[in-house]
Structure 1
Amino acid sequence: MESKKSIIDSATSTLKLESEAILGLINYIDDDFVETVNTILNSRGRVIVTGIGKSAIIAQKIVATFNSTGTPAVFMHAADAVHGDLGMIQKDDVVLCLSKSGNTPEIKLLAPLLKLSGNKLVGMLGNINSDLAKQADLILNTTVEKEACPHNLAPTTSTTAQLAMGDALAICLLQARNFQSTDFAKYHPGGSLGKRLYLKAGDIAAKNEKPSISPNAPVKDIIIEISKNRLGAVVVTEGDEIHGVITDGDIRRMLEKHTNLENIKASDLMNTNPKKIDCEELALLALEIIKKNNITQILVTKEGRYFGLVHLHDLLQEGIV
């Protein structure tokens, strides 16, 4: 069994080497990087990202990041390219080829074929004297001093550098396109991330019951209405006009102060200035208001009228929190 110290030392060394390699990439943000960004921006096609081995796996992640941030991209495995997949490349596409050595047999075979098609070829590589470097129109230098692997063999630091350079490229493109959070939401409609960006307070309130009671309602009716709808509150209304809100906390505080409940009405208990949000506002804003005011539900309105209630549990259930 490995000792605690040796495990911690190994992990620490790996992270230190990789973090130093990423910082070292700053020296390689040069004219070719700038031209790569502008070439992709000005292209009417997609970015075809290719590689072999571990570089192919990083290439797939870069493609995913590009597509989710407004840059259309497609992954093409370098080994499959020469067996028919070259057909996916269209005349306006930019090709980004990842390789540490730039000299693997698949890459050496592929690079001249890409040049023949007339597409702009960008090489992201760790050997600027390689065959790929000689064929590439532009070079994104991801040279690292050594791998984190103690034998300097397993791709670790080099693939981390590729990943970081891909992120730098994607974010430059994102900012140049003025890609906003609303655009991001279009590509991430599922899961909590998308919901935080597009789900509205009204979308949640519409799923709930709409508890309401008149200003003259007695305590018994108030308690029944709050318990029935399981939102922890009831809105005091006349028609859709809002008079106030009564929460289960208001009921508890009232019971602590009064023993005779016979003459107490909803109008006596209600908060006449409850926290509100328009139904068109994001559910994320509803969460912020709830947290800021240390409450558990918020009143949702439409054109100033009663629309519904959103409870903290609704936001938890939707994954907004």
Structure 2
Amino acid sequence: MNIRDKIISSAKQTIRSEAEAITHLATLIDEDFAEATELIYRSKGRVIVTGIGKSAIIATKIVATMNSTGTPAIFMHAADAIHGDLGTILDDDVVICISKSGNTPEIKVLVPLIKNGPNKLIAITSNKESFLGQQADHILHAYVEKEACPNNLAPTTSTTAQLVIGDALAIALLDLKGFSSKDFAKYHPGGSLGKKLYLRVSDITGSNLKPQVGADAPVKDVIVEISEKMLGVTAVIEDQQVIGIVTDGDIRRMLSKHDNINGLTAKDIMSSTPKLIDNDAMAVDALDMLEEHDISQLLAVDHGKYAGVVHLHNLIKEGII
């Protein structure tokens, strides 16, 4: 076997091994998982997630997922907890402790300190019979038979299992809370993901210039309007209603057909079936329309009246694409 074949074989084996372990986790979801989830759901405090080593790294990701899906959570490193950070835990908080073995020295020191307080303790562990498992009020069983590491040493499959259990817990809480896409947008206002969830067409048209001409406007005025408003297009308006559109492409085609443009008006060169979008629609819907029709601009309307232009460049600038 050459080196590339060996690499491919190793990678595939790792993925298969972890996939099998994750599939098995579904059989371990039980009443204890449901009770732990309900405990967090009904709690008036936060979720404190702690661990040591690789489990601590997984804990930080679980905290991030919970915070972004409506469950307030804080990471507390197990080693730091016994050197002052234990004060992070408030009386109404629920503590989740992550450890594959459940028997590490730091865990054995930390768990009794947590149990001395009023807080409920949830364990995410592969070993239900461990010190952590026996002390926990609830166990989320993240059992794995072996690591993907050929020496069965490096935390690989076990940390993947912990992460999946954390995701299952976060999504179960999300479902209980009825956490919607609007809620998600509230917690993700930055970046393309957030903007796809909250940015509306009106947010764009409100900051753009608003090119428009009447149906009888001379072609020269149409060209000037398109040039000055810098959106490559102008709406043709009658009684505040859109009756047509003229694009810079329409201007080029007109010039190729006519040696003399004197006497030509907007209605002579406009398209009378422009693509329209509601000003209150989501910006991502505007993107879908632009892609569907392979165009660069849409005219927006508000209760039937012309509201402005959405250009593909606007969506690129906003990071929607």
TM-score, structure 1 as length reference: 0.95
**1:311 — aligned with what?**
311
**1:117 — aligned with what?**
117
Q: Report deviation, 1:240.
A: 4.0
Q: Report deviation, 1:106.
A: 0.5
- Matched letter for residue 281 of structure 1: A
Secondary structure of residue in 1 paired with 2:41: helix
Pairing 1:11–2:11 present: yes
What pairs up with 1:24-39 in 2 under 5 angstroms? 24-39=24-39
**1:221 — aligned with what?**
221
Give a deviation string over 1:203-260, Cα, whole Å, max 9, x none. 1122222112232222233223223333121112357443321112322333444443
- Matched letter for residue 127 of structure 2: N
What pairs up with 1:99-178 in 2 under 5 angstroms? 99-178=99-178
- Matched letter for residue 141 of structure 1: H
Q: Report deviation, 1:187.
A: 0.3
- Matched letter for residue 6 of structure 2: S
- Matched letter for residue 147 of structure 2: E
**1:207 — aligned with what?**
207
**1:58 — aligned with what?**
58
1: distance between equivalents of 2:191 and 2:265?
43
**1:87 — aligned with what?**
87
- Matched letter for residue 223 of structure 1: I
**1:198 — aligned with what?**
198
Which stretch of structure 1 is more off in the superposition, 203-212 or 32-41?
203-212
What pairs up with 1:163-312 in 2 under 5 angstroms? 163-237=163-237, 240-312=240-312
2: distance between equivalents of 1:114 and 1:225?
70
TM-score, structure 2 as length reference: 0.95
- Matched letter for residue 319 of structure 2: G
Which stretch of structure 1 is more off in the superposition, 35-44 or 202-211?
202-211
Secondary structure of residue in 2 paired with 1:48: strand
Q: Report deviation, 1:68.
A: 0.3
2: distance between equivalents of 1:250 and 1:289?
20
2: distance between equivalents of 1:314 and 1:306?
18
Q: Report deviation, 1:57.
A: 0.4
2: distance between equivalents of 1:227 and 1:97?
63
Secondary structure of residue in 1 paired with 2:76: strand
- Matched letter for residue 185 of structure 2: A
2: distance between equivalents of 1:238 and 1:129?
78
2: distance between equivalents of 1:106 and 1:113?
11
- Matched letter for residue 195 of structure 2: K
Give a deviation string over 1:80-110, Cα, whole Å, max 9, x none. 1111111111111111110000000010111
2: distance between equivalents of 1:147 and 1:230?
60
- Matched letter for residue 10 of structure 2: S
1: distance between equivalents of 2:168 and 2:266?
59
Give a deviation string over 1:136-190, Cα, whole Å, max 9, x none. 0110111111111121111111001111111111111111111000000000000
Across the two proteins, how many residue pairs are aligned to each other? 320
Secondary structure of residue in 1 paired with 2:310: strand
Unmatched runs of 5 consecutive residues or more in structure 2: none
Give a deviation string over 1:107-137, Cα, whole Å, max 9, x none. 0111111111121111000111110001001
Root-mean-square deviation over aligned CA pairs = 1.6
Q: Report deviation, 1:305.
A: 2.4
Give a deviation string over 1:20-59, Cα, whole Å, max 9, x none. 1111101111111111111111111111100000000000
1: distance between equivalents of 2:269 and 2:36?
65
Question: Which 4+ residue blocks in structure 1 deviate beyond 6 angstroms?
Answer: none
**1:49 — aligned with what?**
49
Percent of pairs identical after alignment? 58
Which stretch of structure 1 is more off in the superposition, 55-64 or 140-149?
140-149
**1:40 — aligned with what?**
40
1: distance between equivalents of 2:311 and 2:197?
19
1: distance between equivalents of 2:87 and 2:251?
70
Secondary structure of residue in 2 paired with 1:40: helix
- Matched letter for residue 41 of structure 1: Y
Secondary structure of residue in 2 paired with 1:184: helix
2: distance between equivalents of 1:259 and 1:150?
78
**1:68 — aligned with what?**
68
- Matched letter for residue 201 of structure 1: V
Which stretch of structure 1 is more off in the superposition, 36-45 or 292-301?
292-301
Which stretch of structure 1 is more off in the superposition, 197-206 or 260-269?
260-269
